[in-house]
Structure 1
Amino acid sequence: MRWFGFGFNAFGQIRVRGRATSAASGDVAAEVKVIGPTEVTGHEGRSGRRLKTCRIKASWSRRASLHLNGDSCVCLAGFGAATSDESCGVSVVVSRGCTDASIGELHLTLVFPDRIESWDLQKKEETPSWSMELEPQSESSGPPLNLPLVTGGYIATKPPFYRSLSPHLKAKSLALGAEHAILLCATGAVYTWGLGSHGQLGHGGLTSEEEPRAVEALWGMTMSSVATGGWHSVCISDGGDLYVWGWNESGQLGLPSRGLRKALQQQSSQQAAGAACQVADSSPGEEVFISIQAFPALLDVAPSCEIRTVSCGSRHTAAVTTTGDLYTWGWGEYGQLGHQKLISSDEPKCVEFFREQQLHVVDVTCGTWNTFAAVIAEEVASS
């Protein structure tokens, strides 16, 4: 499996052209925007061999590569990365033996079979800034939980790190947005809580919720996956349908965006300056624009295709179909949509690069302003 990245690269979190002379001084890589899919190189293990990246987690300025086969560890790239043995102030050695990890702007969280550790990325310390012992998970309790979920609760991005959850929710997966959370239960029900000012909770209004509340519009439908961006939320049904809700100012829901359409229209008008006529602004009633979608809406991503997995950036969304195609939409001014140009879109569009290279996309994860996709060769996918 190979990983490709595109989008915001100011700190070399996708690729570095020359090593910064001083990580502490805030020097950045020469190439800020990677507008087309670029392969992410692996790190070397203790044996000298390249480690295979199993998963990628990303924040605004950093990328965490999880190597969970053989020499299990986490390697960081981006802001503060100085050497191959020490990344962002945290030694690779401390992560050896981990089973999962998450990355933020301030902390790296590592999960081990018997404990959780949170390391301060702004300090070079020999011990974690916070840790918690874990009880062994029994086989009868179901499949292993992935961060931010842990037994009995979840790990937040800022102190207090551990937050409890009611056992009655039977949490299966959890995604954290800028100021809200979306939880998937083992029953397939979806719960949200936190800030609701942009309709990101899906309850039909803009009010906030202190405690998990079921998204009633999805009641009776079994969901299999959830994800969240800065101020929008998405989920996939058992049948492969994608539901979206929340803020749509940049087209991140894949629904018509007034701001985005006006910007594109202005660009077209500027390009057509001097022509005999220009396109006039649409009058009210001709087209419906959506700034906030407070209820879940069904989004038709690709004809006759089911959605396999989805991920959200701050204001963009990426989804992988069961046929191995990657679709992206939303804000794209850093190239995070992967279409080889700096455009935004309020319609899902296929990233043609992977089709052209005969690569089958199997996973995707979004950073705040960038996107990372895992691929395999088409002949492997069809075997």
Structure 2
Amino acid sequence: MRWFGFGFNAFEQICVHGKVTEDAGSDVKVTCPTELKSHVETSSCCLKKPGEIRASWSRRASLHLDGDSCVCLAGFVTATSVESCGVSGPKTCGCTDAVISEYHLTLTFPGRVEVWDIQKKESTPKWSMEINTQSDHTLKLPLVPGGYITNKPPFYHSLSPCLKAKSLALGAEHALLLCVTGDVYTWGLGSHGQLGHGGLTSEEEPRAVEALCGMPMSSVATGGWHSVCISAGGDLYVWGWNESGQLGLPSQGVRKALQQNQHTQQGNLGQEVKSSEEELQEVEKLKEFFISIQAFPALLDVTPSCEIKAVSCGSRHTAAVTTTGDLYTWGWGEYGQLGHQTLMSSDEPQRVEFFKEQQLRVVEVVCGTWNTFAAAIKEELSCS
């Protein structure tokens, strides 16, 4: 399995400055999927291919789960752009999962969870807790038995055992919980409709998303201020903020930017260009079709007869993997995080053609705040 990254690269989360190919674009904005390479060639664990990726705004954590499991960090680490393998600071050998943020690295080990302050060179974790690993199903961070871990103190929050949590996604200011029954609960800030209850009010305690009741969900994900989930049948539901088209629904800002770009290109070719006044009138006519906030879950058709098996969200963009191994992205694209080799945003899901051209099948996707990471394997071609 090979991991590729594209989007925001100011801290070398994707590739090292000076080694970016022409196809990948500038050092800061990587617009074409680029295979992740080790920053440090002196450590044996860095030479392994990562099994999983976790990302924040300025950092990437690579989980090596084969043999002696460990975590490698790339990007902004202790005020320098280096890759760390736990030589000093967090001792990651033997960890089973990790979550990275701008300030903390959370690690789980058999029987305990640790939170390290990665902006300081400490020999002990900032916070730790013993956990009972005996449960009915395997939990992944930020869930732990009995509750969940956050990136800001207090680090641990308890959950009602009645919820029987399966997975949890934390947005900028809201949470999305999936139960083993397939029910979805949300709580936190609701000012952008990201809770899916039909209003813009906040919730202090987990509340079931009634619009999804009766439709079991298999996966959940959150962006900065939007939420998505996948049904057991492979359908994708979206709700929350759509300012940059991150819901895949018509966005006034995105459409206007696309129109301006098209007119600029036409003008450069010497073609007739509409006046800005006519353009604004055209946008006003279509205004009723634009959606800035979707407060209820909405079914999103990515492609005809397409089933979704994995989804992830950045701050203002979304990426989904289909059962056929295609990767679709949409939303804010100013740093190339959509992988379409442009810096344009999109309010319509578009397939990332790079993987198809390279005969690669995408199996997993992880969004950082302003970038995207995708795992792919070689496409098996059928003999005719």
TM-score when normalising by structure 2: 0.91
Please give the alpha-carbon distance, in whole angstroms, between the structure 2 residues aligned to 1:266 and 1:45. 49
Residue number in structure 2 paired with 1:12: 12
2:249 aligned with 1:248, yes or no?
A: no
1:109-147 deviations in Å (ceiling 9; x for gaps):
00000111111011000000110011131xxx3221000
Would the aligned equivalents of 1:5 and 1:371 in 2 still touch at CA under 8 Å? yes
2:67 aligned with 1:73, yes or no?
A: no
Residue number in structure 1 paired with 2:48: 51
CA gap 1:269/1:156 in 2 versus in 1, 3 angstroms? same
2:323 aligned with 1:322, yes or no?
A: yes
Residue number in structure 1 paired with 2:311: 310
Please give the alpha-carbon distance, in whole angstroms, between the structure 2 residues aligned to 1:341 and 1:257. 18
Would the aligned equivalents of 2:76 and 2:82 in 1 still touch at CA under 8 Å? no
CA gap 1:7/1:153 in 2 versus in 1, 3 angstroms? same
Aligned length: 367
1:238-259 deviations in Å (ceiling 9; x for gaps):
0000000000000000000011
After the TM superposition, which parts of structure 1 deviate over 6 Å for at least 4 consecutive aligned residues? none
CA gap 1:262/1:103 in 2 versus in 1, 3 angstroms? same
Residue number in structure 2 paired with 1:235: 229
Q: 2:128 aligns with which of 113, 128, 131?
A: 131
Please give the alpha-carbon distance, in whole angstroms, between the structure 1 residues aligned to 2:382 and 2:368. 26
2:38 aligned with 1:37, yes or no?
A: no
Would the aligned equivalents of 2:70 and 2:95 in 1 still touch at CA under 8 Å? yes
2:153 aligned with 1:152, yes or no?
A: no
CA gap 1:264/1:46 in 2 versus in 1, 3 angstroms? closer
Please give the alpha-carbon distance, in whole angstroms, between the structure 2 residues aligned to 1:150 and 1:135. 9
Residue number in structure 2 paired with 1:187: 181
Q: 1:120 aligns with which of 117, 131, 135?
A: 117
SS of the counterpart of 2:356?
Answer: helix
Would the aligned equivalents of 1:360 and 1:381 in 2 still touch at CA under 8 Å? no
CA gap 1:205/1:313 in 2 versus in 1, 3 angstroms? same
Shift of 1:46: 5.8
Alignment of 1:1-383 (within 5 A): 1-17=1-17, 31-42=27-38, 47=44, 50-80=47-77, 81=80, 83-86=82-85, 91=88, 94-137=91-134, 141-273=135-267, 275-278=271-274, 280=279, 281-284=282-285, 288-379=289-380
Please give the alpha-carbon distance, in whole angstroms, between the structure 2 residues aligned to 1:193 and 1:337. 28
Would the aligned equivalents of 1:44 and 1:51 in 2 still touch at CA under 8 Å? no
CA gap 1:82/1:260 in 2 versus in 1, 3 angstroms? closer
Please give the alpha-carbon distance, in whole angstroms, between the structure 1 residues aligned to 2:176 and 2:129. 24
What RMSD over aligned residues (CA atoms) do the two structures have, in Å?
Answer: 2.1
Shift of 1:352: 0.2
Shift of 1:380: 8.7
Counterpart amino acid of 1:170? K
Please give the alpha-carbon distance, in whole angstroms, between the structure 2 residues aligned to 1:70 and 1:353. 32
Please give the alpha-carbon distance, in whole angstroms, between the structure 1 residues aligned to 2:10 and 2:95. 28
Please give the alpha-carbon distance, in whole angstroms, between the structure 1 residues aligned to 2:165 and 2:46. 38
CA gap 1:269/1:381 in 2 versus in 1, 3 angstroms? same
Shift of 1:92: 7.3
Please give the alpha-carbon distance, in whole angstroms, between the structure 2 residues aligned to 1:238 and 1:381. 28
SS of the counterpart of 2:193?
Answer: coil
SS of the counterpart of 1:362?
Answer: strand
SS of the counterpart of 1:262?
Answer: helix
Question: Higher mean Cα deviation, 208-217 or 49-58?
Answer: 49-58
CA gap 1:47/1:248 in 2 versus in 1, 3 angstroms? closer
Q: What are the ranges of 5 or more consecutive residues in structure 1 without an aligned counterpart?
A: 20-29
SS of the counterpart of 1:128?
Answer: coil
CA gap 1:95/1:282 in 2 versus in 1, 3 angstroms? same
SS of the counterpart of 1:95?
Answer: coil
Shift of 1:52: 2.4
Shift of 1:73: 0.1
Residue number in structure 1 paired with 2:23: none
Shift of 1:84: 4.7
State the identity %: 72
Please give the alpha-carbon distance, in whole angstroms, between the structure 1 residues aligned to 2:291 and 2:83. 46
Please give the alpha-carbon distance, in whole angstroms, between the structure 2 residues aligned to 1:218 and 1:133. 35
Would the aligned equivalents of 1:52 and 1:69 in 2 still touch at CA under 8 Å? no
Please give the alpha-carbon distance, in whole angstroms, between the structure 1 residues aligned to 2:234 and 2:302. 11
Please give the alpha-carbon distance, in whole angstroms, between the structure 1 residues aligned to 2:381 and 2:99. 29
Shift of 1:355: 0.2
TM-score when normalising by structure 1: 0.91
Please give the alpha-carbon distance, in whole angstroms, between the structure 2 residues aligned to 1:82 and 1:11. 6
Please give the alpha-carbon distance, in whole angstroms, between the structure 1 residues aligned to 2:350 and 2:251. 15
